[in-house]
Chains A and B, each alone.
Chain A
């Protein structure tokens, strides 16, 4: 982070880094729910590994957010002690896991988004974000390999598995619109060269997703207008339940360490 940021610039960067960090944090927490419940022991480990990668990304990003904010908050305070409306993740990641196919569809949509976003962010004018992006890209490439492998296996699998993942795709697709709906904060970050233009990310994302859908013999649902604003702190009811579980320990035993 450059020391020459104005107050507004620092506040913008803080909120933008929270968007990135909360996306990883909430998705990591969601995936963690599969531990002990996966269809196979091998998938238990696969999903848990991805969850841990995501929590790792969240730690780097939220630590950085705390430094930008400059009020002495560390990763734990930011991750565990904020309120519902202060989380800035897109609401796709807080959607419930559903069945295994549903989780895989959500994962493919997010993995492809993170990949296209972070690949471009390695050239960010913000050196810290560029470094975090470079580290994350390696992890996300594997996440997408895992999730897209399953998408094809299930989509081009049995009649039942095909119907299940197509249904999941239809129900999750509307939430993807929010990922690419740029607001004044996204535009400010793109103008400053901190982040890529979301329109550019979207074009690459849709090309990648279309190819996967074809391979998985799935149909791309029609895009509809949306009114989700998780990136501005307006969440679905699901986030409340996630936070209750995630924050319970920190709020019961403040400052607990292990």
Chain B
């Protein structure tokens, strides 16, 4: 609770996720600077939900996110490209099935 406040750029970066009314998942909406998690929630509320965009907010310190390395995209994602049988598009759906 004792971060010196010279400039908000000195504050840690937080990623903001907002769940819309009626939405099922939190979607990434952007990032902001805040001295602590509570302040990040306050700022997220003021920045990202002022037009009724959401009913729930998550914030997470950006440094706590581990991202995949774009340099590894070929090995991570390419192998799935030719395995189209993983999509459930080869089945005939019986007419009796109303919701799937």
Contacts and interface: CB of A to CB of B under 8 A. Distances in A.
B38 interface: yes
Interface stretch (A3-11, A41-49, A75-83, A124-132): A41-49
Interface residues of A, number: 18
Contacts of B32: 42
A42 B1 contact: no
Contacts of A153: 1, 35-36, 39
A158 B42 contact: no
Contacts of B39: 149, 153
Contacts of A40: 5, 7-8, 11, 33
Main secondary structure of the interface of A (DSSP, over half): helix
A152 interface: yes
Contacts of A42: 8, 32-34, 43, 46-47
A151 B4 CA distance: 14
* Interface residue range, chain B: 20 to 34
B50 A152 contact: no
Contacts of B33: 40, 42
Contacts of B11: 40
18 contacts: A39-B7, A39-B8, A40-B7, A41-B8, A42-B33, A42-B34, A45-B47, A45-B50, A46-B46, A142-B45, A152-B1, A153-B35, A153-B39, A156-B1, A156-B2, A157-B1, A157-B2, A157-B3
